[in-house]
Amino acid sequence: MAKIEQHRGLMLLVTGSVSATGFAPLNLWPLTLISLALLMHLVAKAESGKRAFLLGWIFGVGHFCIGNNWIATAFTFQTAMPAWLGWIAVFLLALYLAVYPALACWSAWRLAKAVGSKGVTLPFIFAFAGCWIVAEWLRSWVFTGFAWNPISAAFPAQMLEPPLIRLVGTYGASGIMVAVAGLALLLLSSLMKSGTDWRTTFAPKLALLALAVVLLTSGWIGSTSSVPAKTTMLTIVQPNISQIDKYAPGYEAVNFSRLAQHSQPENAAPRLVLWPEAAIPWRLEDGYPARAYQFQPGESAEGTRLLLARLMNRGDVLLTGVDRLEFDQNRQLVGARNSVTAMDGAGKLLAHYDKAHLVPYGEYLALRWLLEPLGATRLVPGTIDFWPGPGPRTLTLPFDGRRIKVGMQICYEMIFSGQVTDRANRPDFIFNPSNDAWFGSWGPPQHLAQARLRAIEEGLPVVRSTPTGISAVIDADGRIVKYLPLGKAGRIDATLPEAREPTLFARFSNALPLGLAALFFAFALMSLARRRTSR
């Protein structure tokens, strides 16, 4: 018996690992569906809630170790720590993140037991789907959250039509995909049973599966119309600056020349010129101590702004990633902000946005008092921590004789469903400058896939600029209009796609997927009500 249990755990570890191959860049999404079905089968047969939790946790460890393997690459750029520490970090993170699928499995098992369900039944499937939604939502905010790779991100656009995402959001779509996996498993098990009356057993399950497919591909649920807008020209720059070169001594001029090369105007038409996260190492704001401007053009903020203005038409607006500094009353540096600053073609600063959702251990060292004496440091070079900004914000900028509204989300902020726009001041599009050069070949396409989900949810175009790729223009339906692949220097000249009217998700955010979870729970409990009525 012990040997069987050992094999069951190993099988779940492998199954969890296989489930992560559905995400980019492999995109083997059928394996994700099969893996989810196997997980549900084993959890439904678990002898206790403790066993169900353990099975879900083992599955999660495999799932997150493979899905988040790109994190280890970031450690290869931090000379203060050994590269092998990255793989330990991936494993330790997986041990924590696995708690969320484990909670979903435990909760589904408990609910199924409460309604008297045994094995993979409709009540169990509904309970499991609802619990999965809640678990992904919890993962997005507990301990600041790490919402990377919700299950719905593993499936291609043709399976998750934009209307569905607009209606129930990313986490709701994950629950529906879990339910589809469970219904397929239930249908298969019915077919394998001998002597089954297909009219009473097979047909209802087939009908439910067909209904799920219709919901996934319907073209009207939550649909919205486009909002006509004046043409906005974009120039998105991808300089192909590797992470190893970005902070190398003496490389500032080389890096800037690559940005400048791909930013020159081709005609006199006003443009939004969009540069990546932390594109330049210099200061654009006045008022810092003189030492803050050493080694930058003109030895001043004004000199640097004038240098940038030479790359632009007078009607252009540049949005560039740049660090802003925080000094105490004694003029000592105490913190920094990961920011995007907007500047016009005359060198005038228009606005800035400070990143709010910072990366733990990337941009600040959590538990610094404990970890710093052990030799740990943050991944971004430097000794001071970044400070968070106030949250989602829309920059209203003068452009081409009008005001354009730009929603800002820097780098990994883009993965948090329902948290990417200022709902009181809806933008015309979302700008997502990022530095994906840290994350090897797996991280960038996964990041892009999640940016596409945000575009669909909010009904807004998303524009991405990264140093090494993948930079892209994404329309409000999540389609990639133009892009530059990994490792290629260049620019994207494009017209900003039209926004849609606010979607249902844009209006109600994650209340919608949580409402869907409640509906799944109600379906699961219906069998208990029927049984009590029949007594």
Q: Which of 63-67, 141-145, 316-320, 414-418 has the lowest mean pLDDT?
A: 141-145
Tell me: pLDDT of 271 over 60: yes
Task: State residue 414's pLDDT score.
Answer: 96
CA distances from 454 to 376, 412, 474, 479 (A): 34, 12, 10, 12
Task: State residue 222's pLDDT score.
Answer: 45
Task: State residue 422's pLDDT score.
Answer: 95
Instruction: For residue 354, give both structure tokens.
Output: 């400070």
Q: What percent of the chain lies above the pLDDT cut of 70?
A: 83
CA distances from 189 to 36, 41, 44, 112 (A): 15, 10, 13, 18
Task: State residue 147's pLDDT score.
Answer: 94
Task: State residue 384's pLDDT score.
Answer: 79
Tell me: pLDDT of 182 over 80: yes
- Positive or negative, the CA dihedral 111, 114, 120, 124 is negative
Instruction: For residue 87, give both structure tokens.
Output: 């793989």
Task: State residue 225's pLDDT score.
Answer: 54
Domain architecture of the chain: domains with CATH: 2-224+510-534 (no CATH), 228-502 (3.60.110.10)
Tell me: pLDDT of 204 over 70: no
Of residues 183 and 518, the one with the higher pLDDT is 518
Q: Which of 51-65, 93-107, 192-206 has the lowest mean pLDDT?
A: 192-206
CB proximity list for 314: less than 8 A, separation 6 or greater: 344, 345, 346
Separation CA 359–CA 453 (nearest Å): 21
Instruction: For residue 427, give both structure tokens.
Output: 């933008």
Task: State residue 215's pLDDT score.
Answer: 53
Task: State residue 2's pLDDT score.
Answer: 43
Task: State residue 173's pLDDT score.
Answer: 93
End-to-end Cα, the chain, rounded Å: 38
Provide the mean pLDDT of the chain: 86
Among 61-75, 151-165, 358-372, the range with the most confident prediction by mean pLDDT is 61-75
Q: Which of 22-31, 375-384, 390-399 has the lowest mean pLDDT?
A: 375-384
Task: State residue 220's pLDDT score.
Answer: 44
pLDDT tens per residue, range 468-522: 989 999 999 999 999 999 999 999 999 999 999 999 999 999 999 999 999 999 9
Among 242-246, 281-285, 434-438, the range with the most confident prediction by mean pLDDT is 281-285
Confidence category of residue 74, pLDDT binned at 50, 70, 90: confident
pLDDT tens per residue, range 398-455: 999 999 999 999 998 999 999 999 999 999 999 999 998 888 889 999 999 999 999 9
Confidence category of residue 221, pLDDT binned at 50, 70, 90: very low
Mean pLDDT, rounded, for 306-324: 94
Tell me: pLDDT of 274 over 70: yes
The amino acid occupying position 300 is S
Task: State residue 504's pLDDT score.
Answer: 93
Q: What percent of the chain lies above the pLDDT cut of 90?
A: 63
